[in-house]
């Protein structure tokens, strides 16, 4: 992290956007996949944040934007591990936001709905993957640009304003 900040002159924004979506009923789940989901969706985000935090505090005002999911607030059967990691992102983010209130570092969460990304390739269960792809094929989904616009909205607020969370989803998504 220090080498990157030296090369680019500092760090005033991180966007944590990695994720996988293992889907399976709890009874049938491969727990190794759960570990991978926790490591990717939650622990990875926490470790990047931990490494970046001293640089962000030094550069303040600065922003941390964590990408969660509508699945961090709403659930459906067969996705318990995914939902657990995304609920975890919300909990970590809100606690961190409160820790950093006097530092000039804002912490926000973006919670996208159906988005055209490679996330669905990580599902693991071909039948569930196909079902989600079928739903998405019938509607206009979010694009990466739509999610980026939500991030831009957050980070362009005046330094005294923090947007805690933004839910963004396709108009047709219930």
Q: The tokens of 85 are what?
A: 């990691």
* Sign of the Cα pseudo-torsion (100, 42, 75, 119, in order): positive
* Sheet strand arrangement including 13-16: 13-16, 62-67, 105-112, 165-168
Q: 3-class DSSP state for residue 109?
A: strand
Tell me, yes or no, if 114 is annotated catalytic. no
46: number of Cβ within 10 Å: 16
What would the two tokens of residue 9 be? 């002159």
State the catalytic residue, choosing from 24, 45, 79, 82: 82
Active site residue ranges? 82
């Amino acid at each position: 992290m220090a080498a990157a900040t030296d090369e680019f002159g500092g760090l005033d924004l991180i966007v944590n956007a990695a994720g996988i979506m293992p889907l399976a009923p709890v009874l049938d789940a491969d727990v190794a996949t759960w570990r991978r989901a926790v490591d990717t969706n939650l622990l990875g985000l926490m470790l990047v944040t931990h490494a970046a935090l001293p640089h962000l505090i030094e550069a303040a005002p600065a922003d941390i934007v964590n990408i969660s999911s509508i699945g961090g607030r709403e659930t459906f059967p067969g996705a318990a591990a995914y939902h657990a990691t995304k609920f975890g992102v919300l909990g970590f983010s809100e606690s961190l936001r409160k820790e950093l209130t006097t530092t000039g570092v804002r912490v926000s969460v973006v919670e996208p709905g159906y988005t055209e990304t490679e996330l669905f390739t990580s599902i693991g269960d071909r039948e569930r993957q196909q079902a989600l792809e079928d739903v998405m094929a019938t509607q206009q989904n979010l694009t990466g640009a739509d999610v980026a616009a939500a991030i831009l909205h957050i980070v362009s607020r005046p330094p005294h304003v923090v947007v805690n969370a933004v839910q963004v989803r396709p108009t047709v998504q219930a």
